[in-house]
């Protein structure tokens, strides 16, 4: 199984809603990532989890709250979002690198629209 | 100057043509990634290279570390190859997962 599965594929939410994006992988990867991608732009790294612990937060607003309940799952909790947060949210995973990068496996993404 | 430059930005080809997409970079890297993204879709990792050449089906990727240059070749192109192809760098000293992304090459293959 070489897949990273993201749900839901599409999400529309109001600015007062609370919702979550989910990501799952069963490749034994111990590093998992959230990226945000706006239209016609490259992905931007948001968060990195290593061994289920948050290791990198790229100055992301607190209305985005990540959670890694176990080595296969990664969630992104959303609350009080703004319309400019509308984007494609991509999850990825990799084996933990030492000083050498590991190959990244990406999911299909969750397309978020904030009204 | 951008750390990673891709060319061309846009490419239109006829089905069956041989395609080359280039990536030049200016920083030290631990690996170079070629990624594929279909419109509105997720990203597929095609190759991760740190030296030499890799082949997978009709796709070939090469890297020249001394010249800081990589190429992605598609042989016998097909309309389903239409996508954005992204070169991304894993940078020595860069944080894990924080790839340096190129702006992508949009490929359209016409039947």
A11 bridge partner residues: A112
How confident is the model over B84-100, as a mean pLDDT?
A: 79
Q: Is B50 on the interface with A (CB under 8 A)?
A: yes
A31 vs B42, B97, B102: nearest CB: B97
Phi, psi of B81 (to 5 degrees): -80, -10
> Which residues in chain B are closer than 8 Å to A24, comparing Cβ atoms?
none
Residue B99: list chain A partners with CB under 8 A.
43, 45, 104
Both tokens of A11, joined, read 């999400």
Q: Does B10 touch chain A (CB under 8 A)?
A: no
Put simply, whether A43 touches B (Cβ < 8 Å) is: yes
Best mutation target among B28, B43, B47 (most A Cβ atoms within 10 Å) is B43
Kindly identify which residue of chain B lies nearest to residue A34, measuring between CA atoms. Answer: B97
Alpha-carbon span A7 to A110, nearest angstrom: 6
Whole-number pLDDT of residue A61: 94
Interchain CB distance below 8 Å, B104 and A42? yes
State whether B45 and A99 contact (CB < 8 Å): no
Q: Identify the CA nearest to B1 among candidates B21, B22, B20, B24.
A: B24
pLDDT digits (tens, 9 = 90+) for A46-85: 999 988 999 888 889 999 999 999 999 999 999 999 999 9
Per-residue pLDDT of A14-46, as tens digits, reads 998 999 999 999 998 888 999 999 998 999 999
Which of A104, A111, A112 is the best mutation test for B, with the most CBs of B within 10 A?
A104
The pLDDT of residue B95 is: 60
Rounded distance, CA A28 to CA B95, Å? 21
Q: Across residues B51-65, what is the average pLDDT?
A: 96
Strand (E) positions, chain A?
4-7, 10-13, 18-25, 31-37, 44-50, 53-57, 64-70, 73-79, 87-94, 105-106, 110-114
pLDDT above 90: residue B90: no
Q: Looking at the predicted structure, is the pLDDT value of residue A2 above 70? A: no
Mapping DSSP onto H, E and C, the string for chain B reads CCCEEEECCEEEEECCCCEEEEEEECCCEEEEEEEEECCCCCEEEEEEECCEEEEECCEEEEEECCCCEEEEEECCCCHHHCEEEEEEEEECCCCCCCCEECCCEEEEEEC
Q: Is B43 on the interface with A (CB under 8 A)?
A: yes
Residue reference for tokens 């293959």: B109
Question: Which of B31, B42, B47, B103 would you mutate first to test chain A, the one with the most A CBs within 10 A?
Answer: B42
Residues B23, B34: Cα–Cα separation, whole Å: 9
CB-CB neighbours of A53 under 10 Å: 8
From A43, A96, A101, residue closest to B90, measured CB to CB: A101
């Amino acid at each position: 199984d070489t897949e990273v599965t993201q749900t839901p594929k599409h999400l529309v939410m109001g600015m007062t809603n609370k919702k979550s994006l989910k990501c799952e992988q069963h490749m034994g990867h111990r590093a998992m990532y959230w990226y945000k991608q706006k239209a016609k732009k490259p992905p931007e790294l948001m968060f990195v989890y290593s061994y289920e612990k948050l290791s990198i937060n790229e100055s992301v607003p607190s209305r985005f709250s990540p959670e890694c309940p176990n080595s296969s799952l990664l969630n992104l909790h959303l609350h009080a979002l703004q319309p400019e947060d509308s984007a494609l949210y991509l999850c990825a995973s990799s084996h933990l690198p030492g000083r050498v990068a590991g190959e990244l496996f990406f999911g299909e993404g969750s397309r978020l629209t904030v009204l | 100057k951008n750390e990673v430059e891709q060319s061309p930005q846009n490419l239109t080809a006829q089905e069956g043509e041989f395609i080359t997409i280039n990536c030049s970079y200016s920083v030290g890297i631990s690996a170079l990634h070629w990624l594929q993204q279909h419109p509105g879709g997720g990203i597929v990792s095609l190759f991760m290279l740190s030296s030499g050449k890799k082949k997978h089906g009709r796709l070939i990727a090469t890297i020249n570390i001394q010249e800081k240059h990589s190429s992605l070749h598609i042989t016998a192109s097909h309309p389903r190859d239409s996508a954005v192809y992204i070169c991304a760098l894993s940078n020595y000293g860069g944080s894990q997962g924080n790839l340096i992304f190129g702006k992508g090459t949009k490929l359209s293959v016409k039947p």
